Structure 1
Amino acid sequence: MNALSGAFEWLTTGANWQGERGVWHRLAEHLYFSGVCLAASVLIALPLALWLGHIGKGGALAVNISNVGRAIPTLAVLVLLTLSPLGRYGDAPTLIALVLFAVPPLLTNAYLGMREVDKAVVEAARGMGMSGGQLFLRVELPLAYPLIMTGLRSAAVQVVATATLASMAGEGGLGRIITQGFTVQNTPQVIAGAVLVTALALLVELLLVVVGKVCDPMRGRAARAV
């Protein structure tokens, strides 16, 4: 109980939120790592997954490879990259490790979303004379959208949580609050850092749920159908 009350006191102390070691600065670093890695992962995984799902070839191999990637410990990859020549390039090891971690859920969900589109609907669209591009944009993509967003939410939350490990490589982010707490044996600070990471991950999840509902391409069609 003392540790929890100490964590609350740490979080409500204004001095802990200011300066280069303060929460706001660490939060900005954390959002930078997470945002850059998630954007890079989307650019890598989504075009490939959507294309493979559309043509119906090669996707199973890509999904199996991405699933193998999930089994590789992120911390181990981060340490190896940091000790490699890439370690000379500042944030590069952390960014690469987080991208490798975020690609599998994006790739798998987007591909499965495309492949699970009802074949009868696809054939009906072809029968109406739709081109491949029209079929992709007006039928397959809208119907695959829920699974695509599920993959995006999963990747985003995982990246936000795993970006905490950046502190192990000497980088910034909210993880530094936790590691500094361990260094000085300040348990309330460790708990406070963990609370901040958890709160950020939950906030990102909630935000993407709202964005997913607002941007759902089937939302307007459902409303018109009613």
Structure 2
Amino acid sequence: MSLFADAFAWLFSPDRLEGGDALPTAIAVHLFYTFVSLLIAAVIAVPVGYLIGHTGKGRELAVGISGAARALPSFGLILLLVLVIGVTQKEGAAFAAFVLLGIPSVLAGAYSGLEAIDRRVIDAARAVGMTEWQILWRVEVPLGLPLLIGGLRSAALQIVATVTLAAYIGLGGLGQYIIAGLRLRQFDQMLGAAIVIIVLALVIDGLFALLQHLVVPKGVAAGRATDIRTRSSRSRAVA
């Protein structure tokens, strides 16, 4: 308990608000790397995922690439890209690593969201004369949005945890406190920084969970509620 007390004392010390390595600045840098990388990953993966989900082509290739990308070691990938791209471009190398780690989850969320839609809904849209483009944007995208947000949620958690390693190559963020604390054996600083990273991850996860709930189409939500009430009535009748 003494270590946790020391960690919170370190966190709320007035010194954390001063200097070039102030805690708010480190949090801002950490979030900057996280959300810019997530945005780039979404720009790349969402169109590809929608194309796969709408046409049904290339799914096996996408699954294979996603599985392989998930197996990549984060730290090794960052160091490899820094060596390949160059030390002078280490920020670009870090962004490339974070984007590569975020793409699989976003890609999976995009195409699985479209694949999960009842085919009868798509057939009905074609039957009323909608074009393929209209089916995609008016039917498939709204219905598949919750799973896409779920993919973004998973990718954001992957990236926010991995951004901690950016400090190893001198890019700042909350990881700088952990690396400096390890070198100087300041365990209160290490634990304090780890607590902030955990809180950031929980906040981001909660925001995406709320967004995932809000984007469910009203008709779908109403249908789920009706289905639950029907099942409950049937269960009582059986009893």
Contact 2:8–2:192 (Cα < 8 Å) also in 1: yes
Q: Whole-Å Cα distance in 1 between the matches of residues 125 and 117 of structure 2?
A: 12
Describe the shift of the 1:118–1:27 C-alpha distance in structure 2 as closer, same or farther (beyond 3 A). same
- Is the partner of 2:149 in helix, strand or coil? helix
Q: Whole-Å Cα distance in 2 between the matches of residues 73 and 208 of structure 1?
A: 25
Q: Whole-Å Cα distance in 2 between the matches of residues 137 and 11 of structure 1?
A: 47
Shift of 1:101: 0.3
Matches within 5 A, 1:165-176: 165-176=165-176
Q: Point out where structure 2 has 5 or more consecutive residues left out of the alignment.
A: 227-239
Deviations 1:193-217 (A, max 9, x none): 0000000011111112223333x15
Equivalent position of 1:201 in the other structure:
201
Shift of 1:18: 2.3
- Is the partner of 1:129 in helix, strand or coil? coil
The CA RMSD measured in Å over matched residues stands at 1.8
Equivalent position of 1:218 in the other structure:
217
Equivalent position of 1:138 in the other structure:
138
2:111 aligned with 1:111, yes or no?
A: yes
Contact 2:149–2:211 (Cα < 8 Å) also in 1: no
Contact 1:113–1:148 (Cα < 8 Å) also in 2: yes
2:155 aligned with 1:155, yes or no?
A: yes
- Is the partner of 1:57 in helix, strand or coil? coil
Q: Whole-Å Cα distance in 2 between the matches of residues 114 and 69 of structure 1?
A: 22
Contact 2:90–2:169 (Cα < 8 Å) also in 1: no
Equivalent position of 1:48 in the other structure:
48
Shift of 1:9: 0.5
Worse-superposed segment, 153-162 or 85-94:
85-94
Contact 2:150–2:208 (Cα < 8 Å) also in 1: no
Shift of 1:221: 6.9
Q: Point out where structure 1 has 5 or more consecutive residues left out of the alignment.
A: none
Equivalent position of 1:31 in the other structure:
31
Aligned residue identity for 2:43:
L
Equivalent position of 1:5 in the other structure:
5
Shift of 1:134: 1.4
Equivalent position of 2:231 in the other structure:
none
Q: Whole-Å Cα distance in 2 between the matches of residues 220 and 174 of structure 1?
A: 43
Aligned residue identity for 1:218:
P
Equivalent position of 2:70 in the other structure:
70
Max radius of gyration: which structure? 2
Deviations 1:25-67 (A, max 9, x none): 1111111111110110000000110111111111221121121
Aligned residue identity for 1:153:
R
Could you state the TM-score of these two structures normalised by the residue count of structure 1?
A: 0.93
Shift of 1:142: 1.7
Contact 1:20–1:26 (Cα < 8 Å) also in 2: no
